[in-house]
């Protein structure tokens, strides 16, 4: 029985900026933790991704192996992985003060949508990103490692942006622009626009408050 | 984000669907409310209004179709999007006929969902705009859309009433600021089309190609930057009125296209290959000499005859000086309400200045003058020094016009004082000898 995604939103258990011992963590300095799983041939993307994240958020970046079984999120009817459940698993099995980013090459979905590039807990602690649908070869195009790397970095920064409470930005060049299609991903940059950067700075100077 | 946060109501009995939809839209900046049943949804609607409702078609108890009906009874403005499984597309079509905005089948393409909700919001804001417009019209038409009791204005109003009963194309001519748009709105408001939108478009304000896509709409990908398909103003005016201001400004190519649309009552969006039938009335306005433009071949003669079926001349304000006090008072009331300022009257001296001026900018200039006076003036009265206008007399020099104002002003004060010189001198703040001198100087008589 997979864990209920409701766990993601249960108050107190997450995102409130408190660790299990109740100590208030410093959101400003706690490291970002990358949790890679099912990365397969895309493992080589992790090292450069860590550098990009370090630069984007000015935070130390660590790596942890997954403490859970991703198969619990597999939906055999769809042949895809339920990203809501994966977020819950990440949250449950990785304690600590900072933000968590699951990185995978598994194909992700949320129940009503056909697929997602990534997912995040808005104003919370966990995010998830998949390279699966970012790979040019999947669309019959020639391999382009640099493009793939850039896409993954944008989506990862975008989803982590959500965990800092940022919502979608109307500026199509901003990394927080909504991009349900690849064209949108390629059009935007890996950078926050001025407004989002300000919002991010404000958010980071106070503890996160995951709402229900 | 400075825009008002749009709100979405997600109604689905399945937790996973509700949960993922609400997270998806929260990240898009929406204010999201979840309901797990129709009853729950109706309760939410009791305490809050929503812009969009995403409703699952199949739910235990009251189903999506019935809920949609109830939602629209509560608030007809809410855009309802139905979510269905593949099997129930037929029911979804029924929902569309009942007034749902659209339906999607599970699982939904994320791109499609974003577009759908955005389009739904766009349509809603358009409806709201029209609603506001209608209120303004009702507000104005109720008493005084077109303020004026002078013979030239009474004639205009008679023409408006007369032409409103027909569907004829109307050409309103007049200097800028004479209230041509108000006349167009009055025709629309008095016509059988009044419950549908009047869609105004200023042809002089847009460059040719932009005007073209504004008027005719476009399909997705019709040109660079056309990311979504979009209805043009003509289609938006379906069953209503299309008001084309500064019609003399349109390009020769657009003149051909417009003529064809007026003749066939069909529009073809840019990038589309099939035309759409549209039922609309067109009212044009111009401050240009169109006959001259026709003579100089800048304006097509056939189009000129097509739009000039019924002409209404908006008289300049200087041709109806007796309307100035009425209009001034009308604007004072309007702005006092808008600004919540207790300015209860216009002083006779200020009114004197207003009636002496010849208003080259017409009603708009008068409206601006009163608005400005309301801003700078101190309650409860508008005084001459609050007005941005210089009085202009019969002759043109500024000195002369001041004298003219003084003459009229002194005459009026004397009139009100019943020619009691002492009282008039008090009101005017000058001594009695000066009053006598002024009477002599201006040749005033009882
Ligand atoms: Zn996002
Ligand atoms: Zn931004």
Chain B residues with CB under 8 Å of A78 CB are 107
- Set out the domains of chain A in order of their start, with CATH numbers: 32-199 (3.40.390.10)
Residue B39 predicted with pLDDT over 90: yes
Provide the sign of the torsion angle of the four alpha carbons B242, B248, B249, B252, taken in this order.
positive
Does a structural domain hold residue B146?
no
- B124 and B223 in a single domain? The answer is no
Contacts of B434 by beta carbon, 8 Å cutoff, 6+ apart: B425
Cα–Cα separations (whole angstroms), residue A167 to B27, B264, B441: 5, 47, 75
Residues in a beta bridge with A18: A24
Whether residue B145 lies inside any domain: the answer is: no
pLDDT over 70 (residue B216): yes
* Same domain, yes or no: B253 and B311: yes
**Residue B407 pLDDT exceeds 70:** yes
* Closest Cα in chain A to B108: A113
Q: Please list every residue in chain B whose beta carbon sits closer than 8 Å to the beta carbon of residue A113.
A: 20, 24, 107-110, 113
Range of weakest confidence among A10-19, B349-358, B401-410: A10-19
B116 touches chain A (CB under 8 A): no
- 3-class state of residue B275 by DSSP: coil
Q: Which among A112, A167, A178 is the nearest to B20, CB-wise?
A: A112
| CB-CB under 8 Å, A109 with B107 | yes
User: Which pLDDT band holds residue A24 (cuts at 50, 70, 90)?
Assistant: very low
Confidence band of B87 (pLDDT split at 50, 70, 90): low
Please give all residues whose CB falls under 5 A of ion ligand 2, grouped by chain where several chains appear: A 169, 171, 174, 176, 193, 196
At which of B315, B332, B358 does a domain end?
B315
Same-domain check for residues B50 and B132: yes
Q: Residue A22 has what pLDDT?
A: 37
Catalytic positions of A are 159
In a domain, B144, yes or no: no
- The predicted complex's ipTM stands at 0.75
Q: If you average pLDDT over residues A199-211, what whole number do you get?
A: 72
Chain A CB within 8 Å of residue B108 CB: yes
Among the candidates B315, B338, B363, a domain finishes at B315
DSSP state of B108: B
Q: What is the CATH number of the domain that holds B269?
A: 3.40.50.300
- Interchain contact B110–A (C-beta under 8 A): yes
Calculate how far, in angstroms, residue B116's C-alpha sits from the geometric centre of ligand 1: 17
Name the residue range of residue B270's domain: 151-315
Q: How many domains does chain B have?
A: 3
Alpha helices (runs of H) in B201-343, residue ranges in sequence order:
208-216, 233-236, 252-264, 290-295, 301-307, 323-339
With beta carbons under 8 A apart, name residues in chain B contacting A168. Answer: 27-29
* Interval B345-365: pLDDT, tens: 999 999 988 988 888 888 888
Which residues from A are below 8 Å from B83, CB to CB?
112
> What's B376's domain CATH number?
1.10.8.60
């Amino acid at each position: 029985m997979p864990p209920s995604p409701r766990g993601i939103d249960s108050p107190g258990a997450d995102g409130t900026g408190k660790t299990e011992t109740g100590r208030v963590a410093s959101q400003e300095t706690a490291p970002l933790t990358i949790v890679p799983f099912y990365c397969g041939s895309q493992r080589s993307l992790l090292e450069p991704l860590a550098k990009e994240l370090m630069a984007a958020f000015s935070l130390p970046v660590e790596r942890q192996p997954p403490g859970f079984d991703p198969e619990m999120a597999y939906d055999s009817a769809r042949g895809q992985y339920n990203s809501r459940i994966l977020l819950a698993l990440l949250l449950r099995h990785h304690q600590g003060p900072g933000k968590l980013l699951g990185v995978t090459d598994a194909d992700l979905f949320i129940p009503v949508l056909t697929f997602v590039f990534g997912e995040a807990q808005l104003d919370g602690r966990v995010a998830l990103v998949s390279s699966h649908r970012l790979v040019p070869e999947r669309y019959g195009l020639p391999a382009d490692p640099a493009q793939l790397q850039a896409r993954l970095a944008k989506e990862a920064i975008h989803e982590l942006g959500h965990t800092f409470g940022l919502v979608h930005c109307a500026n199509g060049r901003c990394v927080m622009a909504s991009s349900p299609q690849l064209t949108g991903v390629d059009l935007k940059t890996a950078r926050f626009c001025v407004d989002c950067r300000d919002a991010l700075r404000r958010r980071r100077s106070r503890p996160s408050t995951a709402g229900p | 984000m400075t825009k008002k946060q749009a709100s979405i109501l997600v109604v689905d009995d399945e937790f996973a669907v509700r949960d993922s939809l609400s997270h998806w839209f929260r990240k898009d900046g929406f204010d999201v409310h979840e309901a797990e049943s129709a009853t729950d949804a109706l309760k939410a609607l009791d305490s809050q209004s929503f812009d969009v409702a995403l409703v699952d078609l199949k739910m235990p108890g009251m189903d999506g179709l019935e809920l949609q009906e109830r939602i629209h009874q509560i608030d007809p403005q809410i855009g309802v999007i139905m979510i269905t499984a593949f099997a129930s597309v037929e029911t979804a079509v029924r929902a569309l006929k009942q007034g749902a905005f659209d339906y999607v089948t599970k699982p939904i393409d994320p791109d499609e969902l974003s577009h759908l909700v955005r389009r739904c919001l766009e349509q809603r804001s358009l409806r709201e705009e029209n609603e506001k417009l209608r209120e303004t019209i009702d507000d104005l038409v109720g008493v005084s859309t077109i303020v004026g009791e002078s013979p030239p204005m009474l004639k205009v109003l008679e023409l408006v009433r007369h032409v409103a009963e027909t569907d004829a194309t109307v050409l309103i001519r007049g200097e800028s600021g004479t209230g041509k748009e108000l006349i167009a709105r009055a025709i629309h408001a008095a016509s059988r089309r009044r419950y549908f939108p009047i869609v105004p478009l200023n042809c002089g304000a847009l460059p040719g190609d932009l005007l073209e896509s504004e008027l005719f709409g476009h399909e997705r990908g019709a040109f660079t930057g056309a990311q979504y398909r979009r209805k043009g103003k003509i289609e938006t005016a379906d069953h209503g009125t299309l008001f084309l201001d500064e019609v003399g400004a349109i390009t020769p190519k657009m003149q051909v296209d417009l003529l064809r649309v007026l003749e066939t009552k069909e529009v073809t969006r840019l990038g589309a290959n099939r035309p759409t039938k549209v039922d609309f009335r067109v009212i044009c306005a111009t401050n240009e000499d169109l006959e001259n433009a026709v003579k100089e071949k800048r304006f097509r003669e056939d189009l000129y005859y097509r739009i000039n079926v019924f002409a209404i001349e908006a008289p300049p304000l200087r041709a109806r000086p007796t309307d100035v006090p009425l209009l001034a008072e009308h604007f004072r009331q309007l702005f006092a309400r808008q600004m919540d300022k207790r300015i209860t009257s216009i002083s006779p001296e200020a009114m004197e200045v207003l009636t002496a001026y010849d208003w080259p900018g017409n009603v708009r200039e008068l409206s601006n003058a009163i608005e400005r006076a309301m801003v700078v003036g101190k309650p409860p009265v508008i005084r001459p020094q609050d007005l941005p206008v210089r009085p202009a007399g019969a002759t043109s020099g500024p000195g002369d016009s001041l004298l003219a104002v003084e003459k009229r002003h002194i005459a009026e004060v004397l009139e009100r004082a019943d020619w009691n010189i002492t009282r008039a001198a008090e009101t005017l703040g000058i001594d009695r000898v000066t009053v006598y001198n002024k009477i002599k100087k201006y040749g005033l008589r009882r």
